[in-house]
């Protein structure tokens, strides 16, 4: 599957619903990913190792069944927009 077809196949409502199954740390990593942070920046912000940050993001991708990091970024961005009190 190409990145474009993978993105087009993303079921955003279902992915957003599945964010309820994330641990607080996985959710934090997803929000930081959606805000544009890279692995190293996420690790620094969460005060964990880069390996731990990557593990959180891998769990996020599996739990959300999004298929790619790019799709996880889109879900993270949408989640941030839906929960950001400054944005509303």
Q: Where are the domains of the chain?
A: 11-83
**Confidence bin at 15 (pLDDT 50/70/90):** confident
Query: Mean pLDDT throughout 13-36?
Result: 88
For 70, the token pair is 């790019």
pLDDT at 85: 57
- The answer for residues whose C-beta is within 8 angstroms of residue 60's C-beta and 6 or more apart is 22, 26, 29, 30, 33, 72
pTM beyond 0.85: no
pLDDT at 84: 65
Query: Mean pLDDT throughout 40-55?
Result: 98
CB atoms within 10 A of CB 11: 13
Computed from CA positions of residues 3, 8, 39, 61, in that sequence, does the dihedral angle turn out positive or negative? negative
Query: Mean pLDDT throughout 15-41?
Result: 91
Backbone dihedral angles phi then psi of residue 49, each to the nearest 5 degrees: -75, 160
Instruction: Determine the CATH number of domain 11-83.
Output: 1.10.10.10
């Amino acid at each position: 599957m190409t990145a474009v077809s993978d993105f087009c196949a993303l079921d955003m409502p279902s992915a957003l619903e599945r964010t309820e199954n994330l641990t607080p740390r996985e959710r934090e990593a997803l929000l930081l990913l959606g805000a544009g942070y890279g692995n190293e920046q996420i690790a620094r912000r969460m005060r964990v190792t880069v390996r731990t940050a990557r593990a959180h993001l891998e769990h996020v991708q599996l739990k959300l069944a999004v298929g790619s990091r790019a799709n996880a970024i889109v879900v993270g961005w949408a989640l941030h927009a839906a929960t950001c009190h400054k944005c509303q």
